[in-house]
Amino acid sequence: MHATEALKEADRLMTVCNSCRYCEGLCAVFPAMEMRRAFSDGDLNYLANLCHSCGACYTDCQFSPPHEFNVNVPQTLAKVRNDSYKVYVWPRALAPLFERNGLAISLIAALSVGTFFFGLMAINDPAVMFGVQTGPGAFYRIMSHNAMAGVFGAAFFYAIAALIMGFRMFWRDIGETRETLTSGISVWQAMKDTMALRYLDGGGPGCFNEGERPNDRRRLYHHLTFYGFFLCLGATSTATLYHYLLGLEAPYPWYDLPVVLGTLGGIGLVIGPAGLMRAKFKRDPALRDENGRGMEMAFIVMLFLVSLTGLMLLVLRATPAMGTMLALHMGFVFGFFITMPYGKFVHGIYRFGALVRYAKERRALHEPTPSKAKALGIPGAKAGA
Amino acid sequence: MMRHYDVLVIGGGNAALCAAISARRSGASVLVLEAAPKFYRGGNTRHTRNMRCAHDTATEILTGPYTEAEFWDDLLRVTGGQTDEELARFMIHESKEILHWIVQQGVRWQPSLGGTLSLGRTNSFFLGGGRAMLNALYRTAEDLGVDVLYDAEVVDLDIQGGKFQSATVAYGGQRHQVHASSLVAAAGGFEANIAWLKQYWGDIAENFLIRGTPYNRGSVLKMLLDKGVQEIGDPTQCHAVAIDARAPKFDGGIITRLDCVVFGIVVNKNAERFYDEGEDIWPKRYAIWGRLVAAQPDQIAYIIFDGPSLELFMPSLYPPLKADSIGELADKLGLDPQALETTVATFNQAVRPGTFDHTILDDCRTEGLTPAKTHWAKRIGTAPFYAYPVRPGITFTYLGTRVNKEARMLMADGSPSANMFAAGEIMAGNVLGKGYAAGIGMTIGSVFGRIAGREAAKNARD
């Protein structure tokens, strides 16, 4: 019937929840559930990737453990979600990377950092590597611009290609079509929901990360991380345009656009992951998928180190430590790029897809919501106790 | 714990917490004693989902006005006049303010979904359901400095001449005396006390399922009545609906309900029909079938319907039993196949053509059949065939303590108690002599809880 125990449990829970529906005002998962009466693996993977793990439905549920119905939606959907990443991975042969993800990512990161450091030491004169470099082109005396662009371009485009392939698998698995992605309204709605993290607020009071008392800290730190990441991406993109279009060579002065974007993004990408890490440690164990811990930690630490080394490179770029910092930063960035499709990064891709589908379903639902149906006396509506 | 409190609240549900919060806001020191462990705190409030309050205009969550007069008409209809009119009208008037007061205590109403008004006109729904509502009240109470103890069962009350002196509490393996200036009893009814139910129903009560908390054993109610408080409500009555027979003995909550009687026929263990399945529109029919099934042998019945009806009602917690023929279905249910086939065939022959619409009293009925099915009668003829086994599911009991508009208990001789107040299910019988309408239990709890807390605090000062 179902591929895994987690999917089987998710099916059981969705059957329980569908006969209750008290949580329909909390997030997108429950209204999406209400549109179905039976749940295939694809349906469950869709619901799991729609879930933001805010924990409200667990705290609010009259049937959560120790009740014999043992309803724990956040934990079960976290398991299903984490398992789904393995199912969609491209190439399939790399699925085992998700097994012990924390270890795998750490090793790959360490390896790329080591490679960059010793590689650059090997090709450079120590006087260059550990000397003071200033003025336009200072970084490229350590590694030529073309080599840099070639190596990182390749890593980045490989990651993008693998992510697209993974997304195609996800899209096919949940039974979605290409048309849905071309619907501007659905995509725009999903973008708004993503940019605001609309469904991480437990329906209003906040995220129940630590148990009974909700707060909005997880959303704040995720915003810092998310927007920090895109600012950094913006910094790299503007620098690339400066280089090729304007013929301006890095390093740029601190007040120039690439540096301003990179600095702001870097700060967000240091504070954000640190806050998310703290939230992880404080998280109610009942809500967690223990097997996902390594993957989550690896991703957060990776983001943190990418931005920390970037900021240090900025601070130390006019000192003899520049070569070392550049090697470190490039190593982490390279490691981050090539592991993007094989770690927690993919959660954003699949969740965005799930939100697009949800936006489409909500619009297509011409019939009123269950509660409205009840108000209007329409058949099949739910009843209160 | 053993210091003297201004107000002692016994119970931990909606009424108890509203009382505790309002007493604390009135400046009193408050102790709440909840007999259940923390997870099960709050009695049947955990299983509720909405509250019925009067309001003069539509709001963000209510689609239109629901006047005091209309609320009173509804209450009069469901109780058949078995209500204390003065108290009921007073409660309805107060409910207007409760709609806003409860929000000030941290409770959230469910906003309309998808930006459209969708939550009905009469009832406001709690975001996340009753347990979410309860959690909000506890957070507020704790923030205000109300003391709460769980697993703290009151085993005795010292009452002298209508005045509460102290309570004996079993807590942490020991017995403690708690002294307080005022008492608020908000400890629910006795529906989870099977032995007590058997006094009125006999052994058949063994076959009842209790929809809500296993902790409503009525011990506080019993102590109060034994110590001279005036009783109200029919002790032999309880609110019962037909729920899935596979539900747990206690605490199955809302999800074990089934409302598919209208789509088929209901037979007892002898495969005989015993009542008109098409008598009335929901929710009235919902409320009578518990009692009907209780009167059948072994307190069990089976709702039988066919394939086309399967998706016309809310998805159920337990899947229906399924078979390709009526005979096979009977086998699965442990019924006599021939008897069930005869019952279904007889029913099918009596069905007259009509236009099926289960939202109104339609013209699909049987002719020459006893008992008749007077509406929504459709032939049961398209395989697969389905069945749900059902048993009586007890929601709450009606017996309670008599109170006045201050939520102050009245003694058997009619005199008001010096310092004892009651709120919630333990006094619901004042307003609700019989019957039920969705959300009224929560209205009773919040309105009288708030008043009881305020008056108890005032009483403690004087």
Interface with B, mutate which of A37, A54, A60 (most B CBs under 10 A): A60
Whether B375 has its CB under 8 Å from any CB of chain A: the answer is: no
Residue among B49, B139, B313 minimizing CB distance to A384:
B49
Measured between beta carbons, the chain B residues lying within 8 angstroms of A204 are: 108, 111, 127
Measured between beta carbons, the chain A residues lying within 8 angstroms of B211 are: 385
Write out the H or E segment, with its range, that includes residue B342.
helix B337-350
Residue among A20, A68, A374 minimizing CB distance to B255:
A20
Query: Distance from B441 to chain A by nearest Cα, in Å?
Result: 10
Q: What are the pLDDT digits (tens) for B179-189?
A: 999 999 999 99
User: Over the range A258-297, which residues count as b (16 or more CB within 10 Å of their CB) and which as e?
Assistant: bbbbbbbbbebbbbbbbbbbebeeebbeebbbebbebbbb
Q: CA of A24: which chain B residue's CA is closest?
A: B128
Report the C-alpha gap between B253 and B48 in whole angstroms: 9
**DSSP class per residue in B268-335:** ETTS-B-S-TTS--TTHHHHHHHHHHHTSGGG-EEEEEEGGGGGGSPPPSSPPEEESSHHHHHHHHTS
Contact (Cβ atoms closer than 8 angstroms) between residue B182 and residue B459: yes
Contact (Cβ atoms closer than 8 angstroms) between residue A43 and residue A36: yes
Q: Are strands B385-397 and B238-244 parallel, antiparallel or unpaired?
A: antiparallel
Interface with B, mutate which of A62, A198, A363 (most B CBs under 10 A): A62
Measured between beta carbons, the chain B residues lying within 8 angstroms of A372 are: 112-113, 116-119
Report the C-alpha gap between B227 and B203 in whole angstroms: 28
Tokens of A114: 């080591």
Q: What are the pLDDT digits (tens) for B144-174?
A: 999 999 999 999 999 999 999 999 999 999 9
Work out the average pLDDT over B205-226. Answer: 97
| Chains A, B: CB pairs < 8 Å | 140
Work out the average pLDDT over B380-394. Answer: 97
Q: What are the pLDDT digits (tens) for B17-28?
A: 999 999 999 999
User: Is A383's CB within 8 Å of B313's CB?
Assistant: no
Please check the confidence at residue B265 and state whether its pLDDT lies above 50. Answer: yes
Strand runs (DSSP E) across B133-246, as ranges? 147-149, 153-160, 163-171, 174-185, 209-210, 231-232, 238-244
User: Is A59's CB within 8 Å of B313's CB?
Assistant: no
Residue A385 pLDDT: 41
Residue B63 pLDDT: 82
For residues B16, B20, B26, B30, the Cα torsion angle rounded to the nearest 10 degrees is 140
User: Is B255's CB within 8 Å of A372's CB?
Assistant: no
User: Is A56's CB within 8 Å of B117's CB?
Assistant: no
Residue among A368, A372, A377 minimizing CB distance to B359:
A377
Question: Could you give the residue ranges of the DSSP H alpha helices within B68-201?
Answer: 68-79, 85-104, 130-144, 194-201
User: Is B128's CB within 8 Å of A378's CB?
Assistant: no
Residue A24 pLDDT: 93
pTM to 2 decimals?
Answer: 0.94
Work out the average pLDDT over A46-52. Answer: 98
Q: What are the pLDDT digits (tens) for A307-352?
A: 999 999 999 999 999 999 999 999 999 999 999 999 999 999 999 9
Interface with B, mutate which of A12, A16, A19 (most B CBs under 10 A): A19
Query: Distance from A372 to chain B by nearest Cα, in Å?
Result: 4
pLDDT above 70 covers a percentage of chain A that reads 95
Residue appearing with tokens 């770690």: A343
Residue A26 pLDDT: 95
User: Is A371's CB within 8 Å of B255's CB?
Assistant: no
User: Is A383's CB within 8 Å of B257's CB?
Assistant: yes
Cα-Cα-Cα-Cα dihedral sign, residues B128, B129, B133, B135: negative
Q: What are the pLDDT digits (tens) for B33-77?
A: 999 999 999 999 999 999 999 999 988 888 889 999 999 999 999
Quickly state the pLDDT bin for A383 (edges 50, 70, 90). very low
Identify the contact set of chain A against chain B, taking CB-CB distances under 8 A.
15-16, 18-20, 22-26, 31, 37, 56-57, 59-64, 66-68, 202-205, 212-213, 362, 368-369, 371-372, 374-375, 377-385
Query: Helices B14-25 and B440-461 sit at what angle, rounded to 10 degrees?
Result: 30
Work out the average pLDDT over A188-198. Answer: 97
pLDDT mean across residues, chain B: 94
